[in-house]
């Protein structure tokens, strides 16, 4: 299938990300809020408890924790300042339950980003955040020239852009406010989902299930699903919400769900379209364990055409994207923004 890339001693300073309103706060403001001296706050930060009451320590510690306190040892300004450091952040709500780098997509794109950054004389700082608040907190307290942000949810895009006053490039981002412009490197995901479904229909399939890893679809998953639905509607094929299956992130639970699907629902479909090759190949293993033959009993389609998909057997029908090129383009666009800001 086709592809569619769019696309020395230093002064100590402290900061934390404020939930209400955002912004960088000094240690003096923390001291004022707790009614102690800045020296006392610094002592709590460094766990120096000599000649300090337990009550004072507890009060300051709780204030720091509730404020999502963060220390910036270098005390440098928080904007692109020629440091040579680029932050790359993956926003993943599944961070604590799933190793994101098991995904061929993330491992390939991060490898391409690192190579492009290094070849341009910069350094990469990599972080996986659990949510937008953590991502903003981490980036705002670092001394970096710019950031590449992957998998930021649509509702967090504008907030991120307004809060982080430095060059940013998003990867695979979709936003609701079409009046504002953002630098984003992505695919024609709607068209990809549409084209794959049209291809399956052309092969005689009119009962096609769709599987992804979100209960409420967002971003690329939503776009691919909408393309899938559009192709079915144009063909006059029957489609209901029951044809969408949410895949659990935890592997053992996901496999149990797929085994139930084989026993209960698989007979209703002639093909299953997975939002990514990773899940398609994982499901093929489960199908085989349940004596389900691919493609004789059911056809399986994915999206990405990653390294593993090229080697799996039986061969996987998939929509190709050039993941490495996507990463390289993101870096080149970011460095253009960085250089424009310096000039």
Count CB-CB contacts under 10 A for residue 1: 14
Cα dist from 102 to 105, 138, 173, 304, whole Å: 9, 23, 21, 15
Rounded-to-integer distance, Cα 315 and Cα 204, Å:
18
pLDDT for the residue numbered 5: 40
pLDDT for the residue numbered 96: 60
pLDDT for the residue numbered 242: 95
pLDDT for the residue numbered 311: 84
pLDDT for the residue numbered 292: 97
Rounded-to-integer distance, Cα 19 and Cα 143, Å:
21
Rounded-to-integer distance, Cα 329 and Cα 335, Å:
10
Residue in the structure block whose two tokens are 């990514």: 276
pLDDT for the residue numbered 283: 97
pLDDT for the residue numbered 8: 37
Contacts of 180 (CB under 8 A, 6+ apart): 158, 161
Tens-of-pLDDT digits for all 343 residues of the chain? 444 343 333 333 344 444 434 445 567 778 888 899 878 888 887 777 888 898 999 888 888 877 656 554 444 443 434 688 999 999 876 656 678 787 888 999 999 999 999 999 999 999 998 888 888 888 887 889 999 999 888 888 888 888 888 999 999 988 766 567 789 999 999 999 999 999 999 999 999 999 999 999 988 999 999 999 999 999 999 889 999 999 998 899 999 999 999 999 999 999 999 999 999 999 999 999 999 999 999 999 999 998 888 888 899 999 999 999 999 999 999 999 998 876 6
Q: Are strands 208-212 and 244-246 parallel, antiparallel or unpaired?
A: parallel
Cα dist from 296 to 169, 204, 214, whole Å: 44, 13, 29
Rounded-to-integer distance, Cα 254 and Cα 248, Å:
5
pLDDT for the residue numbered 25: 55
Count CB-CB contacts under 10 A for residue 280: 24
8 A C-beta contact, residue 320 and residue 294: no
- 96-145 pLDDT, tens digit per residue, is 667 878 788 899 999 999 999 999 999 999 999 888 888 888 888 788 99
Rounded-to-integer distance, Cα 87 and Cα 85, Å:
7
pLDDT for the residue numbered 164: 87
Could you tell me the pTM of the whole model?
0.72
Terminal alpha carbon distance of the chain:
42
pLDDT for the residue numbered 161: 84
Cα dist from 342 to 5, 156, 162, whole Å: 28, 27, 20
Cα dist from 22 to 38, 137, 145, 162, whole Å: 21, 9, 20, 10
Rounded-to-integer distance, Cα 12 and Cα 74, Å:
6
């Amino acid at each position: 299938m086709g592809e569619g890339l769019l696309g020395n001693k230093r002064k100590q300073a402290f900061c934390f990300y404020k939930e209400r309103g955002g912004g960088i706060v000094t240690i003096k403001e923390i001291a004022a809020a707790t009614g102690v001296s800045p020296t006392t706050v610094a002592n709590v930060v460094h766990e120096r408890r000599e000649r300090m009451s337990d009550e004072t320590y507890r009060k300051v510690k709780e204030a720091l924790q509730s404020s999502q306190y963060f220390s910036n040892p270098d005390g440098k300004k928080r904007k692109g300042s020629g440091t040579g450091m680029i932050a790359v952040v993956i926003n993943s709500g599944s961070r604590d339950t799933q190793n994101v780098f098991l995904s061929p997509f993330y491992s390939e794109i991060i490898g391409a980003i690192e190579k492009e950054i290094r070849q341009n004389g910069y350094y990469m700082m990599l972080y996986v955040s659990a949510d937008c608040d953590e991502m903003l907190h981490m980036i705002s307290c670092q001394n970096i020239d710019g950031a590449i942000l992957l998998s930021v949810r649509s509702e967090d895009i504008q907030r991120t852009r307004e809060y982080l006053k430095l060059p940013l490039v998003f990867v695979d981002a979709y936003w609701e406010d079409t009046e504002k412009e953002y630098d984003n490197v992505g695919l024609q995901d709607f068209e990809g989902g549409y084209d794959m479904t049209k291809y399956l229909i052309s092969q005689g399939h009119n009962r096609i299930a769709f599987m992804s890893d979100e209960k409420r679809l967002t971003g690329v998953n939503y776009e691919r699903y909408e393309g899938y639905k559009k192709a079915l509607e144009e063909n006059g094929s029957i489609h209901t919400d029951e044809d969408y299956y949410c895949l659990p992130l935890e592997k053992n639970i996901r496999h149990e769900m797929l085994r139930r699907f084989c026993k209960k629902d698989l007979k209703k479909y002639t093909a299953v379209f997975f939002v990514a090759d990773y899940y398609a190949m994982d499901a093929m293993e489960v199908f085989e364990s349940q004596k389900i033959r691919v493609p004789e009993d059911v056809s399986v389609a994915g999206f990405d055409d990653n390294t593993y998909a090229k080697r799996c057997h039986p061969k996987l029908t998939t929509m190709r994207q050039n993941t490495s090129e996507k990463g390289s383009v993101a870096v080149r666009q970011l460095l253009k923004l960085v250089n424009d800001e310096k000039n």
